[in-house]
Amino acid sequence: MKKRILLVDDHGIVRSGLRSLIEQEDDLSVTGEAASGMEALQLVRKQEFDIAILDISMPDKNGVDTLRDLQHIRPELAVLILSGYAQEQYALNLIRAGCRGYLSKDSAPEEIIKAIRTICNGRRYLSPELADLLASELTRPSDKRMHETLSEREFQVFYKLASGKSPTEIASELFLSVKTVSTYRARVLEKMNLRTNADLTYYAIKNELIS
């Protein structure tokens, strides 16, 4: 039985290229496409998929939030992040948040197929680069960059603040109180040794977490 794949990317040309690549394989089939995080959530409520291939940067709901929501709706659904951002920027945070693998979009086609098969078989896919990152985290935890010390929820709040969202907007999107968001903000600033939202934005741009 073919593994059912959901493609989630706001660029049609990327989805088309991935579909063409995947449909060459006898054991894999693209059975759904979404151009946004919201579309993806609607689809997984109606259809069964074995794996979702998810971008980070999308218009209405970014991949960080979409990953979290997918896990609430379909905890059994495996997620592979395929992003334009390099692995060292997001991979560790998103692996901790529950994705089964992370690849940059310039990965070789054979590696993308290998990652899909590995994840569909119930395992994590760690590229050599990501394996090195995880090994470094274990052997030299003090070498972590500041955003890598954040919990999953703290990282969500950090990402939204750095992107210019207000505490009220964040509270609405994450179904939290404004007071709780303010508490997370204070924790993020303390952990990252920063003082203002502008500092968070500068840090995110400097580390290529936002563009």
Quick one: three-class SS letters along the chain?
A: CCEEEEEECCCHHHHHHHHHHHCCCCCEEEEEEECCHHHHHHHHHHCCCCEEEECCCCCCCCHHHHHHHHHHHCCCCEEEEEECCCHHHHHHHHHHHCCCEEEECCCCHHHHHHHHHHHHCCCCECCHHHHHHHHHHHHCHHHCCHHHHCCHHHHHHHHHHHCCCCHHHHHHHHCCCHHHHHHHHHHHHHHHCCCCHHHHHHHHHHCCCCC
CATH T-level assignment (fold) for domain 145-206 = Arc Repressor Mutant, subunit A (1.10.10)
Residues of 184-202 as b/e, b for ≥16 C-beta within 10 angstroms?
bbebbbeebebeebeebbe
pLDDT for res 206: 87
**CATH 1.10.10.10-classified regions of the chain:** 145-206
Quick: pLDDT tens for 43-71. 999 999 999 999 998 888 888 889 989 99
pTM listed for this prediction: 0.71
Per-residue pLDDT band for 140 (boundaries 50, 70, 90) equals: low
pLDDT for 186 beyond 90: yes
Quick: pLDDT tens for 71-127. 999 999 999 999 988 777 788 888 888 999 999 898 999 999 999 999 999 999 988
pLDDT for res 7: 98
**CATH 3.40.50.2300-classified regions of the chain:** 3-139
- Report the residue count for the chain: 211
What's the distance, CA 182 to chain centroid?
A: 23
pLDDT for 13 beyond 90: yes
* Share of residues in the chain with pLDDT > 70 (%): 96
CATH T-level assignment (fold) for domain 3-139 = Rossmann fold (3.40.50)
pLDDT for 29 beyond 80: yes
pLDDT for 139 beyond 70: no
